[in-house]
Every structure is written in C-alpha cells, then in structure tokens.
Structure 1
Amino acid sequence: MPDELKSLGIAVYLSVIGVGNFISSILISVIEKATGGDGGESWFADNLNRAHLDYFYWLLAALSGVGFLLYLYPQDLYLC
C-alpha cells in the first residue's frame, strides 16, 4: 500500500471486517430462530453434546462452495 493511501486502506479493511461480522451475526440469529423454535434444541445449544455445530460448519462450507461457483461462472454472462 502506498504511503498516501494507508489510511484509506485501513478504513476499507476495517469496514470489510465490520460488514463480515454483521452478516455473521445475522446468519447466527436466523439459524438460532429457525432451529430453536417450538422448544427444540437449536444448533447452538448450551450443552455441546446436544448441539449441532457440525451442521453450522457444513452450512458455511456450502455457502463458500456456492460463492466459489459464482466466482468461476463467466463474468460476461452477468451483463445479460
């Protein structure tokens, strides 16, 4: 990063981290409401023996895979 743009680079970096944290908290809230409804155990239960964190990580892997496939998809088709 050039010296003249260091403050702008730090601002963009911190903004990206902040937006990522915001999206992560929304995702966790949605999963908590969807899986913990009707008195059932949510994926983020207090008891780790009954929690399903593996489902959460599989969901993150699937979302990353979709993002990767969208990255590989030819960009000129988006303009149509």
Structure 2
Amino acid sequence: ATSTDGSYLVRESLNPPDSYTLAIKFNGEVKYYKLYFDFPTSTHYVGEKHFDTLNDLVHDGLISFYLESKASDYIALMAC
C-alpha cells in the first residue's frame, strides 16, 4: 500500500528497549525520529520541544517540514 504525505507510524524501537520511533512521510520521503517521554511533566518530546500528545508533536513536525520546503529562502533571510 502507498502511504500519503502526513502519514505516520509510531513503533517500538529495538535500542534501547522500551523506546519508540516515529516514522513520518513528507514530500514522498519517510523521516525517522526517536521519541522521548518526560514522566514528571507527562509530555512527549523531540529535541527541546515538548508536546502534550503525539498528535501535537506530529502536527508541529508536519508544519515545520512544510515551512522548510516552501519558505526556506525566506526563513534564511529572517535569520540574518
């Protein structure tokens, strides 16, 4: 089956045990991210950004992918 952009899957990782990986498709490519969970705050995170739900994390990632693919030149100008 062919998946569409925005499709994602969360699966258990082999290393380390009891960890998870997010596979997300955007622009025809699948990208993989190790997922982390902060028990004291009950939030999911990748890098420094924390999210209440996995859906919030995925939506933020899709928005970031879209902006990077459509507005990378503009974003680079803003960073100067």
TM range (shorter): 0.3 to 0.5
Larger Rg computed on CA atoms: 1
Q: What TM-score comes out, normalization by structure 1 length?
A: 0.34
Q: Which has the higher contact order (CA 8 A, sep 6+)?
A: 2
Structure with greater proportional helix content: 1
